[in-house]
Structure 1
Amino acid sequence: MSFEQLERSTAAGNPRRLYEFVRGAQRWRYTGGDRDFALDTQTYQAIAVRDDGIRQSGHTASDMLTITAPGDFEVARLYRGLPPSSEVAVVVRDVHEGDGDARVVWMGRVAGVNRPSLESTEVRCQSLDAALGQPGLRLAWTRGCPYTLYDRNCRVNPEAHRVPASLTTLAGNVVTAGIFSQYPDGWFAGGFLAWDLGEAGLERRGIRTHVGERLVLLGAGDGLRIGQAVVAYPGCGRSMSICHGKFNNAPNYGGVPGLPGKSPFDGTPLF
């Protein structure tokens, strides 16, 4: 029988819901019920997992999918402290026992994790439609540059300014490496530190301050250890002088250094 026939059947169907979480090349697969479920060459682990139902109302808050899982849910561990720098995608499939036709019924990303009790975890997921429907930020006329460093507007190539390093000490969100002291204090402030997590891809943490060989990160880093190979990328102070002197990128500067100090909307005709 086809998937549609099993769905319409009053007795022949035996539905299972499958949950897949994706971060880079890393996958976590789960299903509710009393035994694991095999689909093609993949196995979905049976745990106490369920959701509150798929909705498509067009309202972001209403269409959130909440997946409830045990307190030791592996995906939820990624969100203890700061969330991962890369999104964790969620794919929900429906299938029937004895049928290999698993239909994708929902796709989105993890938006947050709650721990209402020690025994349970709530993973709040946002659909792709809701994420795409969010309003973006508008550019404003400012003296400082409004662009995000290394983005398509800034156009600075991050690989041209990367500084590979090996960590010598690690204490919470403070890391050190000898090569950092070869750059002026503050050189990396506002930039970010990146390191490889293997199958999970690259992890990134912003750099709050830089003094000598010491960097203070915006939050502790998962997977960091002494001797860890990392790459530091310098930050930008958003001024024309820094854009030109540090990155040689003045033609792409997004601010307006000559912006008048008087507002044209203060009620006087001259400004």
Structure 2
Amino acid sequence: MPVFLAAPVTTIALCWRLARRDGVALGFTTHDRDLTIDGLSYRSSPGMLPSAIRRTSGLEASTMDVSGALTSAAIAERDLEAGRWDGARVAIFAIDWEAPDGEQLALGRGELGAVSIEAEGFTAELNGPAAILDRPVSEETSPECRARFGDTRCRVDLARYRRMSSVTTVIDESTIDVADTEPAANAYAYGRLRWIDGENGGLSSAILSSAGDRIVLREPPPFAIAAGARIELTEGCNRLFETCRDRFANAENFRGEPHLPGNDLLTRYPGAS
């Protein structure tokens, strides 16, 4: 147990460290003034409160809720709605505010789950590490690849299929023209577009199709697209064995069963073609 918990007069402050998927890290504390811990400034935010924290030694998935007021410019309602905070890594701990660089008491960690906005505040569910045990233990067979394009199972080097570009013309809310022509027909279909700057900076959009220098997104981004915005384009894969073999020469890492007989085999009868 940390020494500061046994002091006759407690000087305890709760702290949150939030790290978004785009690399932005923020710190908040219940103390009445800002604290600097491990080089990160933790802003005073008494309005952020966790629910009861229960720690167990079992394997059940542990969750808790974190609620707060939308008073900090760092956590804006528009960013919550845009999904900037989805999947953010969170660490909650207690410290002695008189010695913020001293011993820490870890209270919880995990990723932000469902986020709901209520009146002038928000509530976010924190899923602990044990929540991964709720996932399926084994995979189901499928004719399509179950790996994510470019992950450790796919093993395709995405650096070869990723390019920087910029928006030249905005056709409509989900269709744009870019500065560079695609390397092959419909190369960016099933791929990703990452917004580098502008209001959508740090967010990603799924690509529906591409033709020449035109990109069609699956759905409009959260904020309006501005001409001149820098973007990163990553080619996609439709998860078919033929594409994996012929386009990416990666058949040995295909994670599917394209030749497994389907249910139609059970309905066949002698003489059927």
TM-score (norm 2): 0.77
Question: Within 2, Cα distance between the matches of 1:152 and 1:181?
Answer: 26
Give the aligned residue type for 2:236. G
Q: Distance in 1 between matches of 2:135 and 2:183?
A: 42
Answer whether contact 1:85 1:203 (CA < 8 A) is retained. Answer: no
Q: Residue 249 of structure 1: CA displacement?
A: 2.3
Task: Return the letter of the residue paired with 1:174.
Answer: T
Q: Does 1:44 align with 2:46?
A: no
- SS, match of residue 238 in structure 1: coil
Unpaired segments ≥5 residues, structure 2: none
- CA deviations over 1:207-235 (Å, ceiling 9, x no partner): 12334413214451669642233222222
Is the alpha carbon distance of 1:191 and 1:94 closer, same or farther for their aligned partners in structure 2, counting shifts above 3 Å? same
Change (3 A) 1:240 1:173: same
**1:109-124 pair list within 5 angstroms:** 109-117=111-119, 119-124=120-125
Q: Which residue of 2 aligns with 1:248?
A: 249
Q: Is the Cα contact below 8 Å between 1:205 and 1:221 reproduced in 2?
A: no
8 Å contact kept, 1:71–1:115: no
Look up the match of 2:15.
Answer: 18
C-alpha distance in structure 1 between counterparts of 2:14 and 2:233, whole Å: 42
Deviation of residue 138 (structure 1)?
3.4
Choose from 98, 102, 105 the match for 1:103.
105
Matched, 1:194 2:187: no
- Tell me: CA distance 1:261–1:67, structure 2 relative to 1, closer, same or farther (3 Å): closer
1:242 counterpart SS class: helix
- Cα–Cα, structure 1 residues 248 and 221, in superposed 2: closer, same or farther, change >3 Å? farther
Secondary structure at the aligned position of 1:66 is classed as: strand
Residue in structure 2 matched with residue 84 of structure 1 by the alignment: 84
Paired position in structure 2 for 1:7: 5
Q: In the alignment, is the contact (CA less than 8 A) between 2:14 and 2:31 conserved in 1?
A: no
Q: 1:94: how far off?
A: 0.6
Q: What is the TM-score with the length of structure 1 in the denominator? A: 0.78
Deviations 1:157-185 (A, max 9, x none): 2122223322113453333214346642x
Distance 2:80 2:153 in 1: 31
Q: Which runs of 5+ in 1 are unaligned?
A: none
Partner of 2:258: 257
Letter in structure 1 aligned against 2:54: R
Identity %: 18
RMSD value, Cα:
3.3
Residue in 1 that maps onto 2:168: 168
**Residues 112-151 of structure 1 aligned to structure 2 (within 5 Å):** 112-117=114-119, 119-130=120-131, 132-136=132-136, 138-151=138-151
**CA gap 1:56/1:179 in 2 versus in 1, 3 angstroms:** same
Higher mean C-alpha displacement, 238-247 vs 35-44: 35-44
